[in-house]
């Protein structure tokens, strides 16, 4: 139990990978400790390792079927993987077992409904969450994201300000505030709030990635690369920074250290969820295109497009992707012919 408690402290401080190490030690020493498996699932979720989060949460549920937190985490992980029906079912199970004062199951249900563009239902779920826990910063965070989706950025600011009043040490709130400013094209305030998140948790990869995104949008490629490299140094366990690098770097060859670091994630990319897998294939396509390896680039474009169709199998999407692929094939073929014909 001591290892689990210490890991909880590290996770709250944003030391996610160190927390995972301790959770693993705790579950190795006490395999039947359901709460440690559930907490490990949360840490994996925070680190965007959604497949591992699903496995750990299901293990916790097998040990303790009434464990509300495990269902709540499972809901979030399934939602991140695009498995919305499974996420909805997990949220309902969490609600079934939750005591009257617990808000988290309703927050996760709201997040799933928002992903499905069911915003009125999402807000109703968040209203119930706040009825149960009026000072839940996480509920206000989710509510701000709903307002962002509705493009009501002023109300999103108001809601996130309330969350910051309730929980001023929660770094994710500063990131959200910064990204709302980014959506309003307010670079100065956007960077100010992202920097506050970095000050609070200097070893967390997410704020560096978000800062890089803001700098890229403002055409500061030098600053963006510095942030991406800092994200790489902070965490070697997640592919996000390497994917960001691939979107604008020109690689000299497959022996480029940055390319090798990106390619190293291929065998385990599915564990990070479908959205991450999709973007990973497109990042590899960009990398190979920069090396003028057009056939390999097209191969990954096809893989990404096939996955996109499985995630959203609309006829219009299928036709649009087919047209884009054929257009890209024409560009690649011309480049290939020029390269090898001299």
- For 299-328, the pLDDT digits (tens) are 999 898 888 877 765 565 666 667 777 777
Owner of token pair 């149960």: 132
Cα distances (Å, whole numbers) of residue 27 to 37, 53, 59, 106: 7, 14, 11, 28
Contact indicator for 171, 207 with CB cutoff of 8 Å: yes
The mean-pLDDT minimum among 7-16, 192-201, 316-325 falls in 316-325
Residue 337 has pLDDT above 70, yes or no: no
**Cα distance between residue 13 and residue 7, in whole Å:** 10
**Cα distance between residue 254 and residue 246, in whole Å:** 12
- For 260-280, the pLDDT digits (tens) are 999 999 998 987 877 888 899
Q: Which two tokens stand for residue 58?
A: 């299901």
Using DSSP, state whether 238 is helix, strand or coil: coil
**Cα distance between residue 203 and residue 104, in whole Å:** 26
| Mean of per-residue pLDDT scores for the chain | 89
**Cα distance between residue 210 and residue 224, in whole Å:** 10
Backbone φ, ψ for residue 201 (5° rounding): -135, 80
Torsion (CA) 301, 276, 191, 198 in degrees, nearest 10: -140
Backbone φ, ψ for residue 312 (5° rounding): -140, 80
Contact indicator for 144, 163 with CB cutoff of 8 Å: yes
Output the pLDDT for position 340: 43
Backbone φ, ψ for residue 127 (5° rounding): -60, -40
Contact indicator for 119, 150 with CB cutoff of 8 Å: yes
Identify the band that residue 254 occupies on the pLDDT scale cut at 50, 70 and 90.
very high
Identify the band that residue 283 occupies on the pLDDT scale cut at 50, 70 and 90.
very high
């Amino acid at each position: 139990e001591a290892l689990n408690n210490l890991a909880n402290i590290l996770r709250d401080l944003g030391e996610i990978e160190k927390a995972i190490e301790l959770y693993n030690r705790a579950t190795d020493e006490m395999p039947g400790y359901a709460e440690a498996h559930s907490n490990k699932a949360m840490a994996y979720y925070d680190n965007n390792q959604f497949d591992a989060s699903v496995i750990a949460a299901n293990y916790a549920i097998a040990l303790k079927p009434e464990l509300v937190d495990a269902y709540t985490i499972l809901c979030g992980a399934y939602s991140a993987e695009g498995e919305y029906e499974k996420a909805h079912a997990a949220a309902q199970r969490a609600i079934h077992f939750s005591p009257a004062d617990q808000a988290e199951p309703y927050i996760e249900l709201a997040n799933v409904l928002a992903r499905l563009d069911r915003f009125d239902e999402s807000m109703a779920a968040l209203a119930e969450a706040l009825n149960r826990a009026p000072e839940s910063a996480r509920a206000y965070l989710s509510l701000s994201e709903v307002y962002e989706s509705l493009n009501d950025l002023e109300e999103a600011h108001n809601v996130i300000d309330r969350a910051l009043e309730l929980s001023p040490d929660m770094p994710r709130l500063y990131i959200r505030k910064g990204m709302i400013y980014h959506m309003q094209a307010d670079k100065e305030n956007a960077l100010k709030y992202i920097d506050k998140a970095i000050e609070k948790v200097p070893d967390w990869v997410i704020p560096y990635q978000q800062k890089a995104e803001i700098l890229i949008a403002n055409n500061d490629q030098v600053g963006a690369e510095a942030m991406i490299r800092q994200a790489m140094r902070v965490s070697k366990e997640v592919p996000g920074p390497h994917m960001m690098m691939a979107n604008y770097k020109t690689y000299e060859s497959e022996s480029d250290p940055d390319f090798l670091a990106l390619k190293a994630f291929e065998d385990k990319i599915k564990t990070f969820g479908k959205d991450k897998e999709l973007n990973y294939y497109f990042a590899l396509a960009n990398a190979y295109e920069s090396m003028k390896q057009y056939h390999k680039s097209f191969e990954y474009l096809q893989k990404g497009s096939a996955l996109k169709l499985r995630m959203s199998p609309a006829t219009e999407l299928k036709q649009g992707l087919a047209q884009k692929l054929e257009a890209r094939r024409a560009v690649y073929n011309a480049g290939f012919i020029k390269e090898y014909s001299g």
